[in-house]
Amino acid sequence: MNQPNVRHDDEIREEAPPLRGRHFRPASTEQWLAEAATAQSTPTEATHSERTRPEEAPTVKASQTQATSKPTKHTRRRPHRRRDESLFALRSLVQSPIFAYAAAAFALTAILFAATIPVPHYTETTVQPKPTDETPAKPRPENDEYVEPREIAHPFEGTSAEAVSASNAFGVLTQAIGEFEDTGDKVSFAVRDLTTGNTLTYDSGRPQYPASSIKAPYTCAVYELLLEKGETSYEEVRPLAEETILESSDEAYRDLHERYGMEVFSTWLQEAGVAPGEYSSYGEMLIWNYPHLNTDQLLAMWLHICDYLQTDTPFAQHLGSLLEAREVSAMRNALGTKVKTQSKMGWFDYFGDFFSEPATVEAGIVYAPEGAYAVAVMTTAPAQIAELEPIFTALARAHYEMI
């Protein structure tokens, strides 16, 4: 009986080539021990110093290299043990609760420190362009047309005289003044900007009859020195003040004088810094209900009136409303109702008793969009109210050059 062709393990081991590496299986225990002893006595890899240098390498023929060389299999090297231990320690530290507490404490400390740092506050500023020939320093007014200037009797004076004389307002103003002077009448004015203090004057030292324009300063003296201090009653002063300012009543003005006298006006003038002018003393000046004044004195009175109105007391508000609602005003007619004005006008058309003479006068405050200013205009024209309007229009244009 035929037996199957079965090969024994010993035969297979003898025919199979010896294996190396992880697939190595020794034929027997004795052989494994012997080869292990040989591996310990013989190093498998040379050190760096024992390696063959390139110039010492034996020469091998190309044909021999091609015949004997076989592809080698790269084996994975074992990671370095120290690096593994460092990574493990770092990962353990990050995952530990102590590290989480320390990180939270650091973050909280950083937040508290940042909160103590002052934050700079920046304000929005507008950089003004430098004035050049193409870009004017300030926008020009709408009525900035050139008007041919003309000769007038006196030069302009004041801190803004040069600026006005170099502008287009010079022609407008000289033409308005010339129309008065062509008829033989005289005109003088004084203007002061309430913000900058710049001034413009023309023949402002010439005294003349003030007409009813003096009624506003006297009424203000009664309000400021008597009514505010409780030395008279509002019910007693109010009807006389309304008739004196609104209607320019001579009878009401005379009643105020008879009731309160001229001493209160003398004290008020001294507080306002108004000199007696052509008179030797306030006593001589205030003998008359309508003493002669120049535009410098009348302007100083209105600057003091403005200071009182700015106190904004109930009595000051009432007086301000009266000065704004006056019935006759060349200033209001010239500038229009859109511009707030407070003033008192006076006019007289003949030579009369007590040194009265023809006059058309108005003084007050103009609250212009570019800034408020006080103004006083005095002429010897006989009650020429409409003829005074071009003067106020020209002065409004000139004031623009004063700011």
Output the CA–CA distances (angstroms, integers) from residue 108 to 100, 102, 118, in the order listed: 12, 10, 18
Dihedrals phi, psi of 101, to nearest 5 degrees: -65, -40
The closest alpha carbon to 372, from 188, 181, 170, 198, belongs to 198
Mean pLDDT, consecutive 10-residue stretches, the chain (403 aa), reads: 50 50 53 63 48 46 45 50 65 72 78 66 46 51 78 95 93 94 95 97 96 96 96 95 96 95 95 93 91 96 97 96 96 94 94 81 96 96 93 95 88
d(CA 307, CA 320): 11
1 by DSSP, 3-state: which?
Answer: coil
How high is the pLDDT of residue 67? 42
Q: Which residues of 47-83 are buried (b: 16+ CB within 10 A; e: fewer)?
A: eeeeeeeeeeeeeeeeeeeeeeeeeeeeeeeeeeeee
d(CA 40, CA 19): 18
The DSSP symbol for 344 reads E
Give the start-to-end residue ranges of the domains of the chain. Answer: 161-400
How high is the pLDDT of residue 129? 47
CATH class, domain 161-400, is alpha beta
Contact 277, 292 (CB under 8 A): yes
First-to-last CA distance in the chain? 140
What would the DSSP string read from start to end of 176-236? HHHHHHHTT--EEEEEEETTT--EEEESTT--B--GGGGHHHHHHHHIIIIITTTSS-HHH
The closest alpha carbon to 217, from 270, 147, 143, belongs to 270
The closest alpha carbon to 303, from 376, 361, 368, belongs to 376
How high is the pLDDT of residue 271? 95
The closest alpha carbon to 258, from 289, 233, 235, 285, belongs to 289
For 95, half-sphere exposure in the C-beta direction (CA atoms, 13 angstrom radius) is 6
